[in-house]
């Protein structure tokens, strides 16, 4: 049974759960399904799923009860924002499943906007012969600046498509949608959004 119960609220700079209990979480950023960490595990021939199991075992040993994960939307979406069902998404599903099993809370950011090492590596290796089709995924946020993600109508439509499909997605390992995970404590929709100032 999870120690704290959603929803969490903030009062005078402190977090409380729905029962009024003071929430104290200690955690780490964790990115095995995405970007550098995903690539690094591939490079050493490690199994992503076993790596997650091992890391969670270590988390439990040192008392980590909170994980923050940025979802690299460029690695699991297409130009229009449709969710791409690939190995990274499977690894993310497994991570969510295992974190809930071990009662570790999670903060997710579905749109991170940043480029990924996989896309950079593909661009560099193919250089003059590169095309969108050279990549397994070339997500919607590749086509808009961070500023445009807030006001550009096409960018907003792509984000809506992506978020609709992301939240409707059923986890491969437990058939739950995100809102059914008791351990997901925080959703930060767009990481470090840049808002117009004038």
pTM over 0.75: yes
Given a contact cutoff of 8 angstroms between Cβ atoms, the answer to whether 116 and 31 are in contact is no
The whole-number pLDDT of residue 196 equals 76
The whole-number pLDDT of residue 176 equals 98
The whole-number pLDDT of residue 134 equals 66
Given a contact cutoff of 8 angstroms between Cβ atoms, the answer to whether 102 and 184 are in contact is no
The whole-number pLDDT of residue 131 equals 63
Answer yes or no: is pLDDT of 10 > 70: yes
Q: What is the pLDDT of residues 139-190, one digit of tens each?
A: 999 899 998 999 999 999 999 999 999 999 999 999 999 999 999 999 999 9
The whole-number pLDDT of residue 161 equals 98
Confidence of residue 78 (pLDDT cuts 50, 70, 90): very high
Answer yes or no: is pLDDT of 129 > 70: no
Answer yes or no: is pLDDT of 89 > 80: yes
Tokens 């986890």 correspond to what residue? Answer: 171
Q: What is the pLDDT of residues 132-141, one digit of tens each?
A: 676 777 899 9
The whole-number pLDDT of residue 118 equals 78
Q: What is the pLDDT of residues 14-68, one digit of tens each?
A: 999 999 999 999 999 999 999 999 999 999 999 999 999 999 999 999 999 999 9
């Amino acid at each position: 049974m999870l120690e704290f119960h959603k929803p969490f609220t903030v009062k005078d700079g402190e977090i409380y759960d729905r029962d009024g209990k003071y929430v104290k979480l200690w955690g780490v950023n964790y990115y095995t399904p995405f970007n550098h960490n995903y690539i690094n595990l591939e490079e050493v021939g490690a199994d992503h799923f076993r790596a997650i199991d091992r890391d969670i075992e270590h988390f439990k040993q040192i008392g980590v009860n909170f994980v923050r994960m940025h979802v690299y939307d460029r690695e699991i979406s297409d130009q229009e924002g449709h969710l791409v069902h690939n190995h990274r998404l499977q690894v993310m599903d497994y991570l969510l499943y295992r974190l809930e099993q071990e009662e570790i809370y999670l903060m997710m950011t579905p749109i991170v906007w940043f480029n990924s090492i996989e896309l950079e590596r593909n661009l560099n290796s193919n250089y003059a012969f590169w095309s969108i089709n050279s990549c397994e995924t070339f997500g919607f946020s590749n086509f808009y600046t961070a500023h445009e993600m807030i006001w550009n109508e096409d960018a907003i439509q792509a984000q809506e498509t992506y978020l609709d499909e992301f939240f409707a997605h059923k986890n491969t390992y437990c058939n739950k949608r995100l809102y059914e995970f008791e351990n997901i404590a925080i959703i930060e929709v767009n990481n470090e959004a840049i808002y117009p100032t004038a």
